[in-house]
Amino acid sequence: MAPGDSSLDTASALRPVPAVTVASPAHARNPGMPLLLDWVRDVRVNRSAVERRAATIGPRRGVKKQWQAAWLLRAIRLMDLTTLQGDDTPGRVQRLCAKARRPLEQHLVDALGVGSLELRTAAVCVYHEMVPVAVEALAGSGIPVAAVSAGFPAGLSPLRERIREIEASVAAGAQEIDIVITRAHLFTGNWQAMYDEVKAFREACGDAHLKAILATGDLRVLRNVARASLVCMMAGADFIKTSTGKESTNATLPVSLVMVRMIREFLERTGVQIGFKPAGGIGQAKQALVYLAMMKDELGRPWLEPELFRFGASSLLTDIERQLEHHVTGRYSAGYRHPLA
C-alpha cells in the first residue's frame, strides 16, 4: 500500500481480482469439519505481541491523495450498510437501501471518474422484521440482504426459536445471516455445544451465507477470541464477525488481528477461505484504511473483496464521503449534508 504504487489509482482499486469475483465459483462455501478439540485446546495467544503488532499497522501503511481516495472507494464496496435500531421503520430501511445503491453523491462520482464502476455497498444488514422491506427496495440491484438472527444480540432465546428465526429470514429473502454465539458455552468450556449450535445454524441457512458473531467485548481474553473463532469455522461459518455493535467494547485491532490469524491458520490446515467482518465502533475513514492494511498484510489481496471481507457499519459511509469531498474540493463538508448512511 505504498503511495508510489501505481496500481492503486482510483479506478483500478475498485476492479475485483478475477479469481474472487462475485459470480466466481472458485470461492466455495465453508463445508465445515469435525470438531478437533485438541486443536482448540492447544490455541495460545501472546497478548503483548498482538498489541505491539496492532500498534504498527496504521503508521506503517499510511496512504495519501489519490491512493487514499482509491482505498476509501474500496471500503465502500466492502460495507454492510447497517441499521439495527429500536426505532427502525420501513421508510428508514428504504432510505438505507437507496444509499446502498448509490453510496456517493453524483458530483463526487463525476469528479472521481468512477461512474462506469457502478459503485455500491456489499450488503444491507437489518433485523428480521425488515427483511421483506429491504428485499423489495434492493430488487434488481444484486445487493444482498443480511439479517441479524438467532436471538440477536444476546443469543439466549431457545435454540429451536433461533433456528426458526434463521429459516424465516431465509424464506423472506435474506441471502446472508448474522448469528450470535452463546457466550456461556465458551465460559463453561463446552466447545461441543458451541460447535453443535453453530452447525445447526449453518444447516438452517441453506444457501444463505452464515456470519458468526463472537461478541468479542464479552469474551474477556484474546485466547477466548481465538478459540471461539476456530470452533465457529470448524462448524461451517462462512465469516467470523467481531461484534453485535451492542457490547461496551466492539471491534478493536488486537481482537481483529487474532481472528484474522486464526483464519490464516484455518486456511493453512484445511485450504478453506473464511471471511472476516469487524463491526461496531468503526466510524472513521482512517480506521477503515487501517483495517484494509491489516487484511492485505495478514491474508493478502483476495481478502480485499466482499466475498471475504466486510465492514459492519452505519456512520462510516458519512465520514468516507466527507474525506472524498475533501479530496475533490479541498474542503470538508458537514456530516448533515450527506444523505442517510
**One-letter amino acid of 336:** Y
Which of 99, 199, 211, 241 is an active site residue? 241
Q: Which residues face 22 on adjacent strands?
A: none
277 is catalytic: yes
Which of 80, 211, 277, 319 is an active site residue? 277
Question: Cα-flanking dihedrals φ and ψ of residue 15, to 5°?
Answer: -80, 130
Whether 244 contacts 280, CB under 8 Å? yes
178 is catalytic: yes
CA distance 219 to 90: 34
Which of 80, 178, 218, 238 is an active site residue? 178
Contacts of 17 (CB under 8 A, 6+ apart): 301, 302, 304, 305
Catalytically active residues are: 178, 241, 277
